[in-house]
């Protein structure tokens, strides 16, 4: 949610930020509603002041015996009360219109975000690890999983439809092992506090992190009006909604392992085979709540925390700084981590780490009290994947595949796999 005062103070900068997102100017329309609201509020305040003054004057007129003046003032008071009752309803309507207009406008990119209209404008920052070489044509993860007899898309389709999978035996255990390893790593090496959070949330929670109202078609809703979370970011970030934190307690670093549910409404025809883009998947999410002064440094720290999982698993990857036209709705800057998939001969996204500034905090009314005790300020929020479990499994299957069809288990995961060092066909 944008600060209308900031738009009022510098409408040109706001429109320039939107232009970098590929959007037309909006400041004038927003400020028109804002001016209407401010003018109406002034009239309402004037009426309330006159009501208070007239009430006092009525008492004086009655006391002095001036009945005519008292009656005239009472008639004026009646008209003022009618106006105020109507004006308060009008004010609420104008507030709703302004809020609704602001709620669907994406965040403004930071100055050092690259310009660009889509993924072709993203900038590679660094690479880690070298893709392995194979003396045969490397297979894709779904071919490996099905050949092992441990990945069944047909059974999942009978139960749930497209974009689901059933895994069994060592692959099911690998899913669990990855989640446990990631949680242990993020809570131990990187200092995040583990949480168990709801998988279903209300409208206010989805609105607070920016999923509503703009992305309702990408979400799943229950019959009683709750929403299945598309990411634990929703539950974790909303833990600070409508609260005032002390600066000394920041930053908060939170993590959770949850299932995630996405309708993938805009992904028709993309990644229809395999586990890259599913309606249900699991993820270890990272969330930070911090001060404006710390938030950029926290983005670098969070990105490094996500990278450290890939490094521990010895998976080659690259880091991209997303351009303004390719960033998510609530982000001011995003780093994407893309892992190498030899079966696809391509780098594919496995984590996005974003700083949102006070964009979400304004929607949630999440604040902190500075150390000097003077007033309150909105917190800054960040989120990232540390990592997407299913896509990490995809990367392991493809990077650790062997010519005989087996898959070597990364050393870091072997304690979580009962000491096994290989997955073979049963």
Residues known to be catalytic: 262, 277, 349, 352, 391
Centroid of chain to Cα 331? 8
Do 144 and 405 contact (CB within 8 A), yes or no?
Answer: yes
Say if residue 399 is preceded by a cis peptide, omega within 30 of 0: no
- Nearest by Cα to 27 from 44, 46, 37, 13: 13
Q: Per the structure block, which two tokens stand in for 20?
A: 């970098």
CA distance 257 to 24: 39
Provide the 3-class DSSP secondary structure of residue 168.
coil
Provide the 3-class DSSP secondary structure of residue 284.
strand
DSSP element (H, E) containing 367: strand 366-369
User: Residue 42: CB partners within 8 Å, gap ≥ 6?
Assistant: none
Which DSSP string do the residues of 299-364 spell out, in sequence order? HHHHHHHHHHHHHHTT--EEEEEPPTTTS-TT-SEEEEEEEEETTTTEEEEEEEEEE-TTHHHHHH
Q: Most distant CA pair in the chain: distance in Å?
A: 108
The region that residue 212 occupies, defined by phi over 0 for left and psi between -120 and 50 for alpha, beta otherwise, is beta
C-alpha pair distances (Å), 77 with each of 40, 56, 61, 63, 198: 19, 11, 14, 18, 52
The region that residue 96 occupies, defined by phi over 0 for left and psi between -120 and 50 for alpha, beta otherwise, is alpha
Give every strand in the sheet of 227-228, ordered side by side.
Answer: 200-201, 227-228, 220-221
Backbone angles phi, psi at 220, to 5 degrees: -105, 135
Provide the Cα torsion 270, 273, 275, 280; round to 10°. 70
Do 283 and 257 contact (CB within 8 A), yes or no?
Answer: yes
CA distance 169 to 174: 9
């Amino acid at each position: 949610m944008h600060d209308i005062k900031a738009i009022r103070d510098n409408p040109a900068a706001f429109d320039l930020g939107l232009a970098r997102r590929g959007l037309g100017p909006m400041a004038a329309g927003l400020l028109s509603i804002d001016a209407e609201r401010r003018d109406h509020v002034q009239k309402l305040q004037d009426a309330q002041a006159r009501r208070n003054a007239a009430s006092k004057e009525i008492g004086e007129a009655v006391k002095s015996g001036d009945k005519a003046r008292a009656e005239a003032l009472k008639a004026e008071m009646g008209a003022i009360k009618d106006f105020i009752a109507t004006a308060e309803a009008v004010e609420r309507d104008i507030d709703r219109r302004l809020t609704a207009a602001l709620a669907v406008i994406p965040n403004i990119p930071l100055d050092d975000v690259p310009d660009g209209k889509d993924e072709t404008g993203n900038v590679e920052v660094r690479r880690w690890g070298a893709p392995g070489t194979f003396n045969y044509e490397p297979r894709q993860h779904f071919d490996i999983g099905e050949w092992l007899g441990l990945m069944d898309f047909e059974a999942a389709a009978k139960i749930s439809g497209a974009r689901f999978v059933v895994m069994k035996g060592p692959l099911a255990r690998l899913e669990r092992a990855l989640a446990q390893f990631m949680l242990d790593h993020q809570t131990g090496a990187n200092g995040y506090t583990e949480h168990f959070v709801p998988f279903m949330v209300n409208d206010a929670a989805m609105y607070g992190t920016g999923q509503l109202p703009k992305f309702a078609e990408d979400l799943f809703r229950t019959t009683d009006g709750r929403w299945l979370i598309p990411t634990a970011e929703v539950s974790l970030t909303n833990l600070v909604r409508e609260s005032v934190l002390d600066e000394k307690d920041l930053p908060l670093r939170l993590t959770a392992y949850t299932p995630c549910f996405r309708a993938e409404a805009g992904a028709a025809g993309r990644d229809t085979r395999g586990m890259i883009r599913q309606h249900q998947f699991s993820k270890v999410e990272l969330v930070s709540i911090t001060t404006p002064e710390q938030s950029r440094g926290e983005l670098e720290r969070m990105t490094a925390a996500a990278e450290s999982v890939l490094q521990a698993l010895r998976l080659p990857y690259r880091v991209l700084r997303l351009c303004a036209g390719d960033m998510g709705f609530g982000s001011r800057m995003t780093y994407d981590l893309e892992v190498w998939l030899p079966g696809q001969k391509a780098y594919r996204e496995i984590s996005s780490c974003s700083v949102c500034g006070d964009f979400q905090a304004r929607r949630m009314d999440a604040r902190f009290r500075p150390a000097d005790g003077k007033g309150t300020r909105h917190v800054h929020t960040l989120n990232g994947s540390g990592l997407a479990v299913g896509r990490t499994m995809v990367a392991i299957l493809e990077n650790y595949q062997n010519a005989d069809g087996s898959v070597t288990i990364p050393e870091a995961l072997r304690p979580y796999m009962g000491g096994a060092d290989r997955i073979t066909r049963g």
